Amino acid sequence: MGFSTTAIHAGNEPDPATGAVSVPIYQTSTYAQEGLGKHKGYEYARTQNPTRTALEKNIAALEGARFGFAFASGMSAIDASLKLVKGGDHVILGDNTYGGTFRLFNRILKDYSVEFDLADTSDLANLEKFFKPNTKLVFVETPTNPVMTVTDLAAVSEMAHARGAKVICDNTFMSPYFQRPIEHGVDIVVHSTTKYLNGHSDSIGGFVALNNEEDAEWIRFVQNSVGAVLSPMDSFLVLRGTKTLAVRMEAHDKNGRQVAAFLQEHPKVEKVYYPGLASHPQHELAKRQQSGFGGMVSFETGSLENAKKVLESVKLCTLGESLGGVESLISHPATMTHAAVPDETRAKLGITDGLVRISVGIEDVEDILEDLDQALK
């Protein structure tokens, strides 16, 4: 079955009670039981909810995974996936991830005796040096937020598996439309569904998709025990969002390429970070591993002052955190999404005070280009 057919039909069975074509929002906390231990598979809504089940089947199918679990946010999904490690285990964390992912390791997990090292996962010779006998996980974001570095998922999976470690990939920036990490050997995929999967900037959510049954049972146990579940209303919204994922991603990609090309030629722009540009250091890998480049573009303006001018002069693009919605959003990683990352790490990665990130929306591209042009001037 093709991607769009799966997106529209997986999990989206007509409602057994009424025939409703759109999966209803089962806004209930509990379910009537016929007798002791006799029920329809639903006992309590933290544990199971039919709207959430539909979404879990849907996104799992899109990622090519046997199991999927929906969470209340991308961060709670990432946190649940990291409960596969125990105190005393070692994790290799990509050195450029969403600031919140770094913060989870640096401010919380480390106090639960989870050891971690930051590594540039795009450099395989470098990555290899970080493995220790107790390394249980490699956590990779590709392309990274916000400097768009691309990691070879097949090579990292092979390296990790040979050393007894599993690989988690945060696939938020590409969505399963452009990149399916499990096909490249990755063990666990995580998402912030807040972004492209939902696509309309009106819901916070997260997802974990995987194939290993034992790990899936543990994630199910964590989901129920901790209880950071996606609400029925949010499950409905994301389920509606994924139906148009393919058409939206094509539009984001088309506009993203044009915005990147425009910025690359602009005299006020010093550098553009976009894997779709031939000048990107991992352009060839991105072409192989992804079926598109998407709508995330970052660029260097040279100083905080220049960045501030751009961010405060845009009229169509909205200054704000987040990404992946139909509307273009513009942000300042150093003070917004990556404020939790120490200054030295940010400097090393290129998250300078002059760096600006755009989540290119699906408006008419001429309007986006005109807005950026007037803001840069």
Nearest distance from C-beta of residue 92 to ligand P1T, angstroms: 17
Q: Which residues contact 295 (CB under 8 A, 6 or more apart)?
A: 252, 253, 255, 256, 323, 324, 359, 360, 361, 362
C-beta closer to ligand P1T: residue 100 or 302: 100
C-beta closer to ligand P1T: residue 6 or 144: 144
Nearest distance from C-beta of residue 259 to ligand P1T, angstroms: 17
Q: Is 207 helix (H, G, I), strand (E, B) or coil?
A: strand
Instruction: Give the whole-angstrom CA distance, residue 70 versus residue 75.
Output: 12
From the number of C-beta atoms within 10 Å of its C-beta (0-12, 13-18, 19+), residue 279 rates as exposed
C-beta closer to ligand P1T: residue 323 or 376: 323
Q: Contact, 67 vs 210, CB < 8 A?
A: yes
Instruction: Give the whole-angstrom CA distance, residue 90 versus residue 86.
Output: 9
Helix (H) or strand (E) run with residue 157 in it: helix 153-162
Residue 167 CA neighbour count, 13 Å, CB half? 28
Does the CA dihedral 74-239-200-359 come out positive or negative?
Answer: positive
Nearest distance from C-beta of residue 20 to ligand P1T, angstroms: 28
Q: CA separation (Å) from 70 to 289, 308, 325? A: 25, 37, 19
C-beta closer to ligand P1T: residue 131 or 219: 219
Q: How many residues does the chain have?
A: 377
Report the DSSP beta bridge partners of residue 140.
169
Nearest distance from C-beta of residue 193 to ligand P1T, angstroms: 7
C-beta closer to ligand P1T: residue 136 or 357: 357
Instruction: Give the whole-angstrom CA distance, residue 160 versus residue 87.
Output: 19
Nearest distance from C-beta of residue 81 to ligand P1T, angstroms: 11
Instruction: Give the whole-angstrom CA distance, residue 238 versus residue 72.
Output: 12
Taking alpha carbons only, the member of 175, 240, 253, 246 closest to residue 4 is 246
Nearest distance from C-beta of residue 67 to ligand P1T, angstroms: 20
From the number of C-beta atoms within 10 Å of its C-beta (0-12, 13-18, 19+), residue 364 rates as exposed
> What count of other Cβ atoms lies within 10 Å of the Cβ of residue 19?
7
Helix (H) or strand (E) run with residue 39 in it: none
Token pair belonging to 116? 């971690």
> Residue with CB nearest ligand P1T?
74
C-beta closer to ligand P1T: residue 201 or 301: 201
Nearest distance from C-beta of residue 39 to ligand P1T, angstroms: 32
* Catalytic residue set: 46, 98, 170, 195
Nearest distance from C-beta of residue 149 to ligand P1T, angstroms: 13
C-beta closer to ligand P1T: residue 6 or 181: 181
- Provide the binding-site residues for ligand P1T, judged by CB under 6 A: 73-75, 98, 100, 141, 145, 170, 172, 192, 194, 204, 206, 321-323, 337
Report the DSSP beta bridge partners of residue 207.
70, 191
C-beta closer to ligand P1T: residue 6 or 168: 168
> What count of other Cβ atoms lies within 10 Å of the Cβ of residue 307?
22
